[in-house]
Amino acid sequence: MLTDPLFWTAAFNTAQYTLGSLLIQLPVALILALLLNRPGLRGRGLLRLTFFAPSLVGLPFVAMLFAPIFEKRTGLINAGLHHFFPLWDPEFAWMHQYVMSALIIAALWMYAGFNMVYFLAALQNVSKDLLEAAAIDGAGPWQRFRHVTLPDIAPVASFITLLSTIGSFQMFELSFILLNNGPGPENRGLTVMMYLYQTGFITGDLGYASAIGWVLAVTLMSIALLQRWLGRRHEER
Amino acid sequence: MKTLREKLTRYLSPGALIILFLAVVSVLTTLLLPRKQAEGIPFWVSAQAHYQAYKPFVAEWNARHPDRKINLIQLHATALERRMLSGFLAGTPVADLIEPNSTTAAKGFAGPLSSVGYYDLTDHIKAEGLLERINPPSFALFTTRHRIFGLPHDVHPVLLAYRSDLVEAAGIDVSTIETWDDYFRVMSPLMRDRDGDGRPDRYLLEAWDSNAIAISILLLQADGKLLDAQDRPALNDPRNAHILARLVTWFSGPKRVCIDINQDSAIGHRQRLDGQVIGCLLPDWRAGQWKRENPGLAGKLKLMPLPAWEKGGRRTSGFGGTMLGINRHTQHFDTCWEFAKELYFSPRLAEQLFRDTNIITPVKALWSSPIFDRPDPYFNGQASGRLYIDQAPHVPLRSSSPYYANAVANIANAVSELKAHADRTRTFDEAALTRVAQAILDRAQYAMEREVSRNLFLLQEP
């Protein structure tokens, strides 16, 4: 497996998607949560439901929804951009060279609201006394966030990071459906889970697929242990 | 009662208890539900059109043979594949008669010949002269290591469907077209920029580097190779490099003539209806699909043989296929075999299949039926059946290898890589692209050989 170029392509794509998801999804979720946590905000419940709703529909639905959006010429994104910026190429191939960007955008739409709910719950538990004390001591909004809010929500953030990492490593349905039941041109959308599926259920090599599954499980377990160790070190400080 | 509740909640939370309760109730309900005992020899099909067409036939058979009834069961294609392979690999129950498509059928050929789950029909087919009665290319998809494991259901030749309304309005005469070069030259006046944005709004052929189906159709037509006669990978055949280079000049650069259109979606049908493309590669079954899904194209299309790659070259290709296989462990082989022949050689069923799905039968004797000569309003009064039948004997041979789908995917990936190289370096010279294509195909060949080398049975058995 270690000398199999396709496995490494899948691993690279998965890592790319995981990093992209974590670096974009979590900050967006946190920003949404901070916005919704502002005191006196009207329609908070409705906004919370609106942001959370995409996560209720499931990945296959999201994939079906985004497939036409990313289409060349007729897709909402290309047609819209070409309409407003005539120099934009309406044949821009989102699902070709930019598969991972397309997947990250689709996943962002689905999961940002989901993660936002966790952050919102954590934010509502941040000690008001500490925030007030910091404000009295002259701390600005950024300093209050950096030194009071962030340490308080760190355990939840760590938990969400772990969940998102595991979820990203297991990504299958979204790319599989968006790319028309395959890994896409030049295997650009091939993830480890999709390679496992292809090897086991398309090629019929169940032994190799099982080995891929084990590698994935051990990798995820290692990441979880590493995250736990880092979390503990942080708490001890 | 309170004690019991306390005892239960001591070990399990209320949520877990509810889940457990629901699980127990579901299991008991499933066990207690009355089971409908199916009568007859099970026959699995997946295609809806086949199921509908076979129903009256099976009812008739059952009335004639009350002691040898057939039990027709429709399964989703994926369910059929999973259940069939589970049966072959692990001995779970499998129907006596199975009608898988060629991709699913090929998965049953992965092991040693002696363990293939289908009944080896070779001797029966030869002894009863069926080899001569059925269009020869149709057997290739269901023959592995010189043994035939299925009765072919179809041929699936590919023709070129073109927008005759647009072509005729432009005063273009298609009768002079013999090669792809002719086609692109003659049709070139139709590839115009109508809205003035500097890009053509209409292209001449529906094919793209991400469309593995179109690539495999064109490659087979051009006598390219995916696997050799022994089912070993042959991706780096020099002929393939030449074909790939030429295809890339169709997809990109100053001579671009192709467009990427979504195969089976509403968007794709809309684009075809809007006239964004002139010509499409159309197997017989897809013609039936278009009639159902895009009736708006009726009267706007005509069919013609595919333009050849070189003068005097092949004018068709093939895509898809279905077979009728018999479980090798069946206790009712004679009944299954008699039923299979009656089903696939039935003139009435062949006509109904063509009427409902546009699929032509592989049984040569049935090609004389007048139904195939009937004017087809969808194709501007052309006799679509006859046009497909004329090309049926020339359909290229395809492999039954379980690695065939992987080979198609690999070749499509190679086209994508070559196109990306051409776009990046602005190289659209065929000779230069052929050299790059050869290097890409050598890498693809290595990867594919690695993959196939894990299957010792296919390589070791002659």
B158-318+403-460 maps to CATH 3.40.190.10: yes
Phi, psi of A154 (to 5 degrees): -55, -45
Q: Which residue of A72, A182, A186 is in closest CB contact with B260?
A: A72
Encoding tokens for residue B9? 């909640």
Residue ranges of alpha helices (H) inside B91-203 are: 102-107, 122-127, 130-133, 137-140, 164-169, 180-187
Q: Which residue of B107, B413, B417 is in closest CB contact with A204?
A: B107
In degrees, to the nearest 5, what angle opens at C-alpha B109 toward C-alphas B243 and B354?
70
User: Which residues of chain A does B405 touch, with a Cβ-Cβ cutoff of 8 Å?
Assistant: 202
Decide if A205 and B270 are in contact by the 8 Å CB cutoff.
no
pLDDT score for A187: 84
CA-to-CA distance for A195 and A182, rounded, in angstroms?
A: 10
- How does B238-264 read in b/e, with b if 16+ C-beta sit within 10 Å? eebbbbbbbbbbbbbbeebbbbbbbee
Q: What is the pLDDT along chain A (237 residues), one digit of tens a residue?
A: 888 888 999 999 999 999 998 999 999 999 999 998 887 788 888 888 888 888 888 888 888 888 888 888 788 888 888 888 888 888 888 877 788 889 999 999 999 999 999 999 898 888 888 888 888 888 888 888 888 888 888 888 888 999 899 999 988 988 888 887 778 878 888 999 999 998 888 888 888 999 999 999 999 999 888 888 887 777 776
- How close, in Å, is residue A185 to chain B by CA atoms? 6
Residue B10 CB: number of other CB atoms within 10 A?
Answer: 7
- CA distances in angstroms from B317 to B155, B306, B307, listed in the order given: 10, 8, 11
pLDDT score for A131: 84
User: Which residues of chain A does B420 touch, with a Cβ-Cβ cutoff of 8 Å?
Assistant: 97, 186
Q: Where does CATH 3.40.190.10 sit in chain B? A: 41-152+320-394, 158-318+403-460
Decide if A185 and B209 are in contact by the 8 Å CB cutoff.
yes
User: Which residues of chain A does B263 touch, with a Cβ-Cβ cutoff of 8 Å?
Assistant: 180
- CA distances in angstroms from B108 to A172, B93, B123, B327, listed in the order given: 26, 15, 19, 11
Q: Which residue of A4, A71, A90 is in closest CB contact with B267?
A: A71
Phi, psi of B383 (to 5 degrees): -85, 90
What residue in A sits closest to B413 (Cα-Cα)? A186
Decide if A182 and B409 are in contact by the 8 Å CB cutoff.
yes
Counting one residue from chain A and one from chain B, the pairs whose CB atoms sit within 8 A come to 51
User: Which residues of chain B does A204 touch, with a Cβ-Cβ cutoff of 8 Å?
Assistant: 85, 107, 110, 402
Q: Which residue of A186, A202, A204 is in closest CB contact with B416?
A: A186
DSSP B355: H
User: Which residues of chain A does B400 touch, with a Cβ-Cβ cutoff of 8 Å?
Assistant: none
pLDDT score for B164: 95
Decide if A71 and B262 are in contact by the 8 Å CB cutoff.
yes
User: Which residues of chain B does A84 touch, with a Cβ-Cβ cutoff of 8 Å?
Assistant: none
Decide if A185 and B416 are in contact by the 8 Å CB cutoff.
yes
Q: Which CATH superfamily is domain A5-236 in?
A: MetI-like (1.10.3720.10)
User: Which residues of chain A does B199 touch, with a Cβ-Cβ cutoff of 8 Å?
Assistant: 90-91
pLDDT score for B2: 64
Residues of B engaging A, defined by a Cβ cutoff of 8 Å: 85, 107, 110, 197, 199, 209-210, 212, 260, 262-263, 265, 267, 270-271, 276, 402-403, 405-406, 409, 412-413, 416-417, 420, 447, 450-451, 454-455
Q: Which residue of A71, A186, A205 is in closest CB contact with B413?
A: A186
| B407 HSE (CA, 13 A, CB side) | 27
Decide if B455 and A205 are in contact by the 8 Å CB cutoff.
yes
Q: Which of B78, B203, B262, B419 to mutate to test the interface with A (most CBs of A within 10 A)?
A: B262
Which 3-state string (H, E, C) describes B378-425? HHCCECHHHHHHHHHHHCCCCCCCCCHHHHHHHHHHHHHHHHHHHHHH
Fold classification of B41-152+320-394 is D-Maltodextrin-Binding Protein; domain 2 (3.40.190)
User: Which residues of chain A does B144 touch, with a Cβ-Cβ cutoff of 8 Å?
Assistant: none
**Interface predicted TM-score (ipTM) of this complex, two decimals:** 0.74
- How close, in Å, is residue A151 to chain B by CA atoms? 32
Domain definitions of chain A by residue range: 5-236
- In the three-class reduction of DSSP (H, G, I as helix; E, B as strand; rest coil), residue B376 is classed as strand
Decide if A72 and B454 are in contact by the 8 Å CB cutoff.
no
pTM over 0.80: yes
Q: What is the pLDDT along chain B (462 residues), one digit of tens a residue?
A: 567 777 777 777 888 888 999 999 999 998 888 877 778 999 999 998 899 989 999 999 999 999 999 999 999 999 999 999 999 988 899 999 999 999 999 999 988 888 899 999 999 999 999 999 999 899 999 999 889 999 999 999 999 999 999 999 999 999 999 999 999 999 999 998 877 777 888 999 999 988 899 999 999 999 999 998 888 899 999 999 999 999 999 999 999 999 988 877 888 899 999 999 999 999 999 999 999 999 999 999 999 999 999 999 999 999 989 999 999 999 999 999 999 999 999 999 999 999 999 999 999 999 999 999 999 999 999 999 999 999 999 999 998 898 998 899 899 999 999 999 999 999 999 999 999 999 999 999 998 898 888 887 776 655
pLDDT score for B426: 92
